[in-house]
Homo-oligomer: A and B are copies of this chain.
Amino acid sequence: MVNHNKDQLNEIFHALSDPTRREIIHSMHQKEKTVSELAQPFDMSLAAISKHIKVLERAKLIERSVNGRTHLCSLNTESLSKATEWLQFYEKFWSNRFDLLEKELLEAKKKEH
């Protein structure tokens, strides 16, 4: 139970670490796409793209609706949000650190006078 989140983050970040998969995500950011539409821009076998899509699917970054012999893929931003949430925790922490630093600097200036 506890590790679901951790495992999903592993899968999300791993899925995003491949440029082909990021391009796949990009090419469906406005509209759902079939597997062959997604494969078209790449100089790579359909089987390879099929695997990439499965990796994205396991990370729940995309969803697939089977329609006859064609599969329509669409983005699922929930997983994207999970990743950004993780990241922003540390970004915020850091900017807070700088805010604090700035305050201390101001305090120091006040004391000068």
Known: A14-B17, A16-B13, A17-B17. A90 touches B94 (CB 8 A): no
Tell me how many chains of this kind the complex includes: 2
CB <8 Å contact, A91 and B87: no
Say yes or no: B18 contacts A90, CB within 8 Å: no
Number of residues in A with C-beta < 8 Å to the partner? 29
Task: Give Cα distance in the complex from A75 to B90, angstroms.
Answer: 9
Given contacts A88-B84, A90-B25, contact A13 B17 (CB under 8 A): yes
List the interface of chain A (C-beta within 8 A of B).
6, 9-10, 13-14, 16-19, 22, 25-26, 29-30, 75, 77, 80-81, 83-84, 86-91, 93-95
Given contacts A9-B17, A10-B18, 15 further A-B contacts (CB under 8 A): A6-B19, A10-B17, A13-B16, A14-B14, A14-B17, A16-B17, A16-B86, A22-B86, A25-B90, A26-B90, A77-B95, A80-B87, A80-B91, A83-B83, A87-B87
